[in-house]
Amino acid sequence: MPNGSPPSSRPYLGEDPSLAEARGTLRDALGALGNLDQLLRSLRVGPKAISAVLPDVLDSCGPARDAVRELLSRTGARLGSTNAVSELEHFFTPRFEELQRSIELATRTPMHARHRLELERVVTRLSPELEAGRALLDLLEAALAAPTIRLKLRELLDQITAAEFAKGTEPLRTTLRGRVEDIELLVQPQVAMMLLTLGANLVVEGHDAATPELSVEARPDGGCTIRFQQGSASGDALLLPRQTIVAPTLACVETAATKMGCRVERGSDDSTFSLTWA
C-alpha cells in the first residue's frame, strides 16, 4: 500500500471514463518518473540511455498536471469547503513545473556528470513527493466513495502488515499497545488502513531513530481511541509500510477521517495525534 493503490484495486471509484483516464495518465507519468529516478541512480546506466528516455518523461508532465487538476476539481466539488484540496493544488503545481524545467534543460544539455547529478537531485526528490501526493489524492477519493463496513481492528492491522513493501525499502517497525482483539470499528477499510499507516509515519517524520507507537483505548460505550506518538521499541511489533510525508498530509488525514466518522486531535507540535470513534 505504500504511496497509493492502482485504480484496479479501487472498484468503488465507479466507471467515469474521464476520471479513469485522468488517474491512468497520472499513474503512468509517475511510473515513468520513478523509472527515470532508478536509471539516474544506477552507475551501470550510461548517459545515452538516460537521454533516450527524457523526451517521454517530459511529454508526460503536461498531461499529468492536467490530470491532477481534473481529479482535484472533481474531488473538491464533492468535498465542499476543505483545506485538503487547496493544499494539494499548491503542492502539485510547483513540483510539476520544476520537474518540467529540469527535464527540458537536461534535453538541451550534454549529459555530463555534473548535469546528470543536477537532474538526479531534482528527480530523486520529486519522484517520492509526487507519489505521496497521489496517495493523498487516492485517500480523499476513497473517503468519498469507499463502502463502510464493521470490521475488527485486528483484521485491519493484519491487512496492513501483510501488504507488500516498496522494493528496496525497509518496513517501519511500530509498537502496538493495548488489546485489539475485541474491538470492532465502523470503517472504510481502504481509508482506515491508510490513516493508520500515515499516522505511524507522521509521528516519527524527521526522527529516523524514533519508533512510532500505536496505543489503543477501548471505552465501555463501544467507542475507541487510537493514539499515535513516539515510543519505545518494547511491545507488540507491527511492520508497516513507509510513507513519504509531505505538507498536505495532515489536512488530508483530517478530511478523510472526518468523512469516515472519526474525530482527529493533534498535539501542538504535530508529533502526536489521535483518531476517535464515538
Report how far residue 248's alpha carbon sits from residue 84's, in angstroms, rounded to the nearest whole number. Answer: 6
Query: What pLDDT score was predicted for residue 257?
Result: 96
Query: What pLDDT score was predicted for residue 14?
Result: 67
CATH number of the domain within which 16 lies: 1.20.120
Q: Give the pLDDT confidence of 152-192 residue by residue, as tens digits.
A: 999 999 988 866 666 667 889 999 999 898 899 999 999 99
Residue 162 and residue 139 share a domain: no
* Listed residue (188, 198, 182) closest to 240, CA to CA: 198
Which structural domain, as residue segments, surrounds residue 112? 7-145
Is 45 part of any domain?
Answer: yes
Residue 63 has which C-alpha cell? Answer: 498531461
Report how far residue 66's alpha carbon sits from residue 42's, in angstroms, rounded to the nearest whole number. Answer: 31
Is 2 part of any domain?
Answer: no
Residue 242 and residue 127 share a domain: no
Give the domain-ending residue among 121, 145, 169.
Answer: 145
Residue 262 and residue 184 share a domain: yes
Residue 110 and residue 57 share a domain: yes
Residue 138 and residue 74 share a domain: yes
Is 1 part of any domain?
Answer: no
Residue 85 and residue 52 share a domain: yes
Give the domain-ending residue among 129, 145, 161.
Answer: 145
pLDDT above 70 coverage of the chain, percent: 92
Give the domain-ending residue among 117, 145, 173.
Answer: 145
- State the first-to-last Cα distance of the chain, in angstroms, to the nearest integer: 27
Query: What pLDDT score was predicted for residue 1?
Result: 41
Residue 50 and residue 173 share a domain: no
Residue 135 and residue 12 share a domain: yes
Residue 157 and residue 230 share a domain: yes
Residue 141 and residue 13 share a domain: yes
Q: Give the pLDDT confidence of 53-62 residue by residue, as tens digits.
A: 999 999 999 9
Is 11 part of any domain?
Answer: yes
Is 87 part of any domain?
Answer: yes
Is 168 part of any domain?
Answer: yes
pLDDT band at 209 (very low <50, low <70, confident <90, very high): confident
Greater confidence, 72 or 82?
A: 72
How many domains is the chain built from? Answer: 2
Residue 135 and residue 16 share a domain: yes
Greater confidence, 267 or 75?
A: 75
CATH number of the domain within which 202 lies: 3.30.565.10
Q: Give the pLDDT confidence of 233-270 residue by residue, as tens digits.
A: 777 889 999 999 999 999 999 999 999 999 999 887 76
Mean pLDDT for the stretch of residues 7-24: 76
Residue 85 and residue 203 share a domain: no
